Chains A and B, each alone.
Chain A
Amino acid sequence: MAAPLRRLADAVVALAIGAAAVYAHTLTLGADELDAPLTSRAEVGATAVTGRFSARLGKVVAARSVRLGDGPDARSLRAGEGEVFVVATVAATAPREPVWLREAWLRTRDGLDYAASDRTGVARGIGRPAQPGWWTERLFVFEVPPEALPGAELVITGPSGNGLYDEIYPGRYDQLRPEAALELTAGDAAATRLLAEVKDSWPLTG
């Protein structure tokens, strides 16, 4: 009687192992999860270190308008109704090779992403990559409603390493991209102070 029972137990165990193996194949990541970047976070003034670059947030200014250019060709650009410009200075460096940091978002506490404004044209410093040995500064300009600032963070994503595949499938198969999330304001009080000190005009230099 023991032998049949043992054979039955063996069969059940084998079946369970097979079923577990089949089930394990269903444990896969979705497209969004596969494309999710690896995010490194940093508090105000701290440096976010990723595998390909490091970034830290410098001066942050809120302004109702920004001034582009110098001298007689200078022109002023006013923010939209109910919005302000947020001008953030970001310093970055890289451990081994040049990294071009072109993509940045202002991510609200609720998870909404505001892309960097394209109204200012090509911002200064955009052609200078982060390189080993020194910190490179550049400006990012966002045009957002004031209520988006409390708890917001500035998110910078490293360039894709997919090469040709980015041209075929833009934004896809872009796994494990490094991303630095820099806290924009330390808290609601800091956001309130930032908005209380909003500038009427701010020159975009540097």
Chain B
Amino acid sequence: MAVDGMNREDGGDREEPEFDAFAPNPNNTPPGSSTGSWPAFRIAPVPAAPPAGTAPPAAAEPSVFTPATPAAASIPAGTPSASRPEGAGTAGGGSSAFTPATPGAASTPSAFRPGGASTAGGGSPAAVPGAPDAGSPVPETTGAAGSGAGAADVDGARPGPGAGDGRAGRRGRVAGAVRAGLVGVTAVAAVAATVGVQWWDRARWVAERYPAEKVTEVATGSSTVLHGVAWQAGVSTGPPGAGDPAGTVTLRATVRLTPRSAAAAAGYEPPAYRFQDRDGHRWTALQSDGPIRLDLRAGQTASATVVGSVPAAARDSAELVLSYSPGETLRFAR
């Protein structure tokens, strides 16, 4: 309190600095606090240098924000940041514009003026090791002891030598880790999106040219219409062929086809046949005899024979498959 009183008294003798609303205010960031309090928005005037050996009054005041650092003890009392007004760079500047004359101002600021020595005595900033340039604003956060780290404590992101600086440092490290994590996640997402778009585009290209086969299953004994023709088929074991490989059997399928219209009969083309089991194994099958287009009449059933060889193990499981295209395929269940 005595410090603040002294500041006000002494400040009245100095010229007021020109107010710059956008200039960083060094008083609004007390250590360990990101907001500060209104009474802290003062520009402390340069106090008169106390007599040598005079202990700064505020040095005796307990303050929860006072960093008890070795640096604080090594700097002579009265040296410090009390000279900040000059450091604000506004020649002849005063403090009235930033000094609310509130009753509380006398008591509150001291809590944010650690060390008390910051306002206890005169002295030149140049006398403080590590002090900021005279032309740049210096936050009064660490007082005389914190003059070397005062600039770093403005944003609270860099660790300082005190307890409050430690909390700020931890917060800064956490913020850095969060930021690095966000950058990493964004990078991974960008790469995944890039690869995904190319994958999707290529998959679409392939799907257009190589469409997946769509098979329609025809129940045993029933028929299905495809291309205007009703198809029905049955499979039996045929006599072995002369050149059949050992371990194989010959399957003979009888296909009955009935055109539903004259147009369907006129547009008839023999389909491709094959034998296939449910595990996906395929064997060739050839039509040995069957109708041609001129043989077909609407509503009249014609017959075709399809022959193929399959392994003996597939004698009862191989089914006839009829196909015009991957999307026009019939499988006759056995």
Q: Is the CB of A133 within 8 A of B246?
A: no
What is the bound-complex CA distance between A133 and B247, given in angstroms? 8
Contact residues of B between 276 and 310, Cβ < 8 Å to A: 280-284, 309-310
Q: Is B245 an interface residue (CB 8 A)?
A: yes
* Chain A residue with Cβ nearest B284: A98
**Cβ distance A7 to chain B, nearest Cβ, rounded Å:** 16
Q: Say whether A133 contacts B281, CB under 8 Å.
A: yes
Residues of B close to A50: CB separation below 8 A: none
Contact B282 A132 (CB under 8 A): yes
Q: What count of chain A residues pass the 8 Å CB interface test? A: 10
Query: Which B residues are in CB contact (< 8 Å) with A133?
Result: 247-248, 281, 283, 310-311, 313-314
- The number of residues on chain B lying at the interface, defined by a beta carbon within 8 Å of a beta carbon of chain A, is 14
> Is B284 touching A96 in the complex (CB atoms < 8 A)?
no
A133 to B244, CA, bound (A): 13
Are A134 and B311 in touch, CB under 8 angstroms? Answer: yes
Q: Contact check: which of B246, B280, B282, B284 meets A134 at CB < 8 Å?
A: B246
The residue from A129, A132, A135 contacting B281, defined by CB atoms under 8 A apart: A132
Among A115-161, those with CB < 8 Å from B are 129, 131-136
Whether B282 and A98, one on each chain, are in contact in the complex, defined by CB atoms closer than 8 angstroms, is yes
Distance in angstroms between the alpha carbons of A132 and B310 in the assembled complex: 8
A132 to B283 Cα, complex, angstroms: 7
Cβ contact within 8 Å between A131 and B280: no
The one of B281, B310, B311 that contacts A96, using a Cβ cutoff of 8 Å: B281
Centre residue among B245, B247, B310, B311 by max chain A CB count within 10 A: B245
Is the pair A131, B284 in contact by a Cβ cutoff of 8 Å? yes
Tell me if A97 is interfacial: C-beta within 8 Å of chain B: yes
Chain B, Cβ-Cβ closest to A134: B245
Contacts of B280 in A (CB 8 A): 96
B314: nearest residue on chain A (CB-CB)? A133
Query: Which residues of A sit under 8 angstroms from B245, Cβ to Cβ?
Result: 134-136
Q: Which of B247-275 contact A (CB under 8 A)?
A: 247-248
Q: Which residues of B contact A (CB under 8 A)?
A: 245-248, 280-284, 309-311, 313-314
Q: Which 6 A-B pairs have the closest CB atoms?
A: A133-B311, A97-B282, A132-B281, A134-B245, A98-B284, A131-B283
Task: Given contact pairs A133-B248, A133-B311, enumerate 6 new A-B contacts (beta carbons under 8 Å).
Answer: A97-B281, A98-B282, A132-B283, A133-B310, A134-B246, A134-B247
Would you mind naming 8 contact pairs between A and B with Cβ atoms under 8 Å apart?
Answer: A98-B284, A131-B309, A132-B281, A133-B247, A133-B248, A133-B310, A134-B248, A135-B245
